Chain A
Amino acid sequence: MSRSLRLSRRLILTTTLAVALAPLVLASAPARAQDTPNAILNASYDIARELFDAVNKQFEPAYKAKTGKDLKVNQSHAGTSKQARSIVEGLEADVVTFNQITDITFLVDKGFVAKDWQTRLPNAASPWYSFPAFLVRKGNPKGVKDWDDLVRDDVKLVFPNPKTSGNARYTYLAAYAYALDKFKGDEAKADAFAKKLLSNVVVFDTGGRGSTTTFVEREQGDVLITFEAEVIGVKDAYKDKGFEVVVPPTSLLAEFPVAVVDKVVDKRGSRQVATDYLTWLYSPEGQKIAAQFNNRVVDPKVAEEFKAKFAPVKLVKVEDVFGGWDKVQKTHFASGGKLEELFVAP
């Protein structure tokens, strides 16, 4: 056997080994790169991408001006249940900005967020809020005004799957709360109301944005039900289509809770900057951005400034109607709960 052939054979052998082992080496690399706390990760919900884009664009220079340090806030958006799961499974998010409390409770149960998280920031750790509202087609041809209209036979609805979307869980609870009030607490009648509402839905997407696409681009259904913030946003984005916003007289308060992920910030040494970030959301600048993106805010001055934008509404709280999120989770949303029963019944 010639020498060159033996040489090439060794070359092949080393190359094979290198190729075979390369994925292992590559896979271990990113873990080291994350040690520097000049970047933090915000894990957030599906339809808040543009909002936090704008927030970060103002926060980063403000932080630099105040502390002299560079900071990059990275964003991750998906359904909040998925985000909570990812964090438990190893996604190193320093802060979470969710659209419902139950998914933070999940992180509390798993030891990622301290129990007292709601007392560490103002307004039970919710810098802004919204509620389920309706978007209807030009001229409101079906004359939709209130929750009652949504259970009519001739009205077809689009909202995401309450099993995969926090957004839709608010819609379901808002309708249920409305029915409980209307039928003076008669649960059987409220069940029937919620069941009819669910059966009027023509397409269940897995998230809020999917439903918006289905309603706007695919022209399915008469009413899109989603957070008021998204409803106004869609109306403005598609001016030529002439959509109209319908704010029902009553709806359910949707708090958008935020929290520092204790386990992650302790490990990465980013507690201070993560807390600064969340606190900034309560500043007039942060509140203004949230209001510009059609959220209702807690700062009275900023709220007054944007008053003309929002229709009056009476909001009921989960705590008052259902006795808290823990109870809602158990009786309505858990596997085999009420939602499952009403959702599948033909």
Chain B
Amino acid sequence: MNRVIPGFSLSLGITLFYLSLIVLLPLGALVWQAVDVGWERYLAIMSGARTLSAFRVTLSTAALATAFNAVYGLALAWVLVRYEFPGKRLLDALVDVPFALPTAVAGLALSALFVKNGWFGGPLDLLGIQVAYAPLGIAVAMAFTSIPFVVRTVQPVLEDLASDVEEAAATLGASDTRIFLRVIFPAIFPAFLTGASLGFARSLGEFGAIIFIAGNLPLKTEVVSLLTFIRIEEYDYPAAAAIAATLLGLAFVMLFAVNMIQLWQQRRIGTGD
């Protein structure tokens, strides 16, 4: 056993105490407030046109952002692990910037870039694509704030992957595509899935970056976190709690599903495919 920090029961006690204080207590308070709303009122809140639209907008843009990050994040992790080039360490450090940056600053910067008089927005506008103040802008903000999740979960697994397995596959005559699909991808799949779903969950709740670029038009570009904020501004705490608790539930269901898939994957590999 590794016992650099002494006293298992003491460490465990501190761990549990702070986990409860920092994570479980606020979540518990939220759920408790939502339970207070009552079933009928909850259904009325959740089936409102505006609530439904906010969930539809949020879920679809989060899916789009996650799809983009899944492909691009994987490529980024691959390049960082497999190649040597000048500026690699800088690129590696840059990946963490979305985590370190206040999301509101990210939102401001992104909206400055993507509006019609911005660097990216101008050319895109000529092509007839509107990003800022449209659903696409929300997806851009989400992709920005959640990209590190995919890279940072896939990267260490790729680093650990011994290249002799790949070489063996190659000597047996497997094509590059086949090696990637049958050897590399299955090995990194659990990490990849975890990264993508953490990114998705983060996107669901993102607020700061989005409200600057979304336009916030009800039924069009209003996300769930903004609607929660609006309900609180109206002093309507029950509605805010109900919406927030639903979002929390969604995130939990997703994390649970990912755990199940990982378990299944481990078993499948463990017994030999």
Contacts and interface: CB of A to CB of B under 8 A. Distances in A.
B14 A220 contact: no
B122 to A, nearest CB: 11
Contact of B216 (A12, A205, A218): A205
A176 interface: no
Interface of A is mostly: mixed
Interface residues of B, number: 35
A203 interface: yes
A164 B233 contact: yes
B78 interface: no
Among A161, A218, A334, the one with the most B-chain Cβ atoms within 10 Å of its Cβ is A218
A334 B11 CA distance: 49
Interface stretch (B108-116, B158-166, B180-188): B108-116
B5 A201 contact: no
A54 B236 CA distance: 36
Contacts of B6: 9, 12-13
Given A9-B6, A12-B6, A346-B219, A206 B111 contact: no
Interface in A130-187: 161, 163-164
A174 B116 CA distance: 31
Contacts of B7: 13
A220 to B, nearest CB: 7
Contact of B233 (A16, A81, A217): A81
Given A81-B233, A217-B112, A203 B50 contact: no
Interface string B89-131: 0000000000000000000000110011110000000000000
Contacts of B233: 79, 81-82, 163-164
Contacts of B232: 85
Interface in A223-244: none
B111 A218 contact: yes
Interface in B198-215: 211-212, 215
User: How large, as a class, is the contact surface on chain A?
Assistant: 20 to 34
Contacts, number: 72
Nearest to A203: B215
A161 B219 contact: no
B269 interface: no
Contacts of A333: 234
A204 B112 contact: no
B117 A219 contact: yes
A20 interface: yes
B111 A335 contact: no
Contacts of B56: none
A218 B215 contact: no
B133 A20 contact: no
Contacts of A293: none
B49 interface: yes
A83 B33 CA distance: 22
A197 to B, nearest CB: 14
A280 interface: no
B123 to A, nearest CB: 16
Contacts of A219: 115-117
Nearest to A10: B6
5 closest Cβ pairs, A-B complex: A204-B216, A335-B236, A218-B115, A163-B230, A203-B215
Interface of B: 4-7, 10-11, 14, 18, 49-50, 111-112, 115-118, 132-133, 211-212, 215-219, 226, 229-236, 239
15 contacts: A13-B7, A16-B11, A16-B14, A20-B18, A161-B216, A164-B233, A201-B217, A203-B133, A203-B217, A204-B216, A206-B216, A206-B229, A334-B236, A335-B231, A335-B239
Given A203-B216, A205-B216, A333-B234, 10 more contacts: A12-B4, A12-B5, A13-B10, A16-B14, A81-B235, A202-B215, A205-B211, A210-B212, A217-B112, A218-B111
